[in-house]
Amino acid sequence: MLNTKVEQFLNRQVEREEYSANLYISMAVWAEVNGFSGVADWLYAQAEEERLHMLKFVKYINERGGRALIGAVAQPPSDFKNVKSLFEEVLKHEQFISQSINEIIGVCIDERDFTSQNWLQFFVNEQIEEEASVQKIIDKLKLIGDGNLYMLDRDIMSLRTTTAQ
Ligand code: FEO
Return the CATH number at 143: 1.20.1260.10
Domain hosting 129: range is 4-159
Q: What is the pLDDT of residues 99-113, one digit of tens each?
A: 999 999 999 999 999
* Distance in angstroms (rounded) separating the CA atoms of residues 17 and 44: 14
pLDDT of residue 163: 53
- Residue 164 counted as domain residue: no
- Ligand 1 within 6 A of CB of 26: no
User: Judging by beta carbons within 10 Å of its beta carbon (0-12, 13-18, 19+), is residue 122 exposed, middle or buried?
Assistant: middle
Count of domains observed in the chain: 1
Q: Which atom of ligand 1 is nearest to the CA of 164?
A: 1
Q: Are 107 and 6 in contact (CB under 8 A)?
A: yes
Q: What is the pLDDT of residues 60-84, one digit of tens each?
A: 999 999 999 998 999 999 999 999 9
* Distance in angstroms (rounded) separating the CA atoms of residues 21 and 32: 16
| Residue 53 C-beta-side C-alpha neighbours within 13 Å | 35
Nearest-CA residue for atom 2 of ligand 1: 94
- Residue 28 counted as domain residue: yes
- Ligand 1 within 6 A of CB of 17: yes
- Residue 139 counted as domain residue: yes
